[in-house]
Amino acid sequence: MKLFLDTANLREIEEVASWGILDGVTTNPTLCSRENLPFEKLVREICRLVPGPVSVECVSTRAEEIVSEARKLSGLAPNIAVKIPVNLEGLKATRILSAEGIKVNMTLVFSPSQALLAARAGAAFVSPFIGRLDDISHHGMELVEQILTIYENYNFVTEVIVASVRHPGHVVEAALLGAHIATVPYSVMEKLVKHPMTDIGIDRFLQDWKKVTDK
Ligand code: G3P
């Protein structure tokens, strides 16, 4: 499973890129609003740090406007994927943009039927929001399972990005289901490698090694 970082923060991106496990980045208007750089400069900087796809969200609401905004965004760097919310206007725009070879990440996906239509419209990625479904007492991972089954049934090439990830368990479940990608906030990314038994084990080995070198 590929790991994307869900952030617009350059320091976080640089840090996780240095771990050697970063495959891409997803941003959204909320994440961009937390940063201090002008939007286009921020996007260019992120794309420079990450070799893989960088999702940047369109904020237009009508199909023609989404299309022109997406064309402009995709011109900012070669690795841009435009994020478009999955509604009727978004679907129309996705069909046009995917025919032009622009990668679309259909976002705010909360049902398997939305994911089916996104794939039919030619989206390169779909982003089911797992944590937000869990927040309203649904089981977000069931949605991922349903989407993966539908895509397998028809050999869709659209990749599933498990989004709105809140804890390491979401990442593990996504991998067990065979999701293509999980997009993970920095705080969760750090937790993926942490285990208290590892830290205790390192401490014990270091203490014992001192006994060896003190001889
Ligand atoms: O990738 C989508 C993600 O940023 C949404 O996460 O935590 O706002 O539900 P959250």
At residue 51, the pLDDT reads: 85
Whole-angstrom Cα distance, residue 88 to residue 62?
Answer: 9
- CA pair distance 16, 5, nearest whole angstrom: 8
Burial class of residue 127 in the structure, from the number of CB atoms within 10 Å of its CB (0-12 exposed, 13-18 middle, 19+ buried)? buried
Question: Which protein residues are within 6 Å of ligand 1, measured from CB?
Answer: 6, 26, 28, 127, 129, 131-132, 163-164, 183
Cα of 127 from ligand 1 centre, angstroms: 10
**Which residue segment(s) compose the domain that 108 sits in?**
2-214
Q: Which residues are catalytic?
A: 83
Tens digit of each residue's pLDDT (9 = 90 or more) over 30-87: 999 999 999 999 999 999 999 899 999 999 999 999 999 999 999 999 999 999 999 9
Decide: 147 and 177 in contact? Cβ < 8 Å: no
Closest by CA position to 52, among listed 148, 183, 163: 183
Identify the helix (H) or strand (E) that includes residue 89: helix 88-99
- Within 10 Å of residue 178's Cβ, how many Cβ atoms? 12
- Mutation test of ligand 1: which of 34, 83, 132, 187 has the most ligand atoms closer than 8 Å to its C-beta? 132
Pairing of strands 24-26, 2-6: parallel
Cβ–Cβ under 8 Å, residues 121 and 153 = no
Q: Tell whether the model's pLDDT for residue 215 goes beyond 90.
A: no
> What number does the ligand 1 atom closest to the CA of 131 have?
9
Q: Which helix (H) or strand (E) holds 25?
A: strand 24-26
Residue nearest to atom 7 of ligand 1 (CA): 164
User: Ligand 1 centre and the CA of 6: distance in Å?
Assistant: 8
Residue located via tokens 């994927």: 81
> Which of 164, 167, 187 maximizes ligand 1 atoms within 8 Å of its Cβ, making it the mutation to test the pocket?
164
For residue 199, the model assigns a pLDDT of: 97
Residue 179 has pLDDT above 90, yes or no: yes
Residue 162 pairs in a beta bridge with: 182
Domain count, the chain: 1
Return the best residue to mutate from 32, 83, 129 for the ligand 1 pocket (most ligand atoms within 8 A of CB): 129
CA-wise closest residue to 17 among 37, 47, 39 = 47
Residue of minimum CA distance from atom 6 in ligand 1: 164
pTM value surpassing 0.85: yes
Which pLDDT does position 83 carry in this prediction? 98
Give the CATH number, domain containing residue 100: 3.20.20.70
Distance (angstroms) between ligand 1 centre and the Cα of 112 equals 18
- Could you give the CA distance from residue 96 to residue 84 in angstroms, rounded to a whole number? 12
Per the DSSP assignment, residues forming a β-bridge with 56 are: 82
What pLDDT digit, counting tens, does each position of 118-171 carry? 999 999 999 999 999 999 999 999 999 999 999 999 999 999 999 999 999 999
Q: Whose CA is nearest to atom 10 of ligand 1?
A: 164
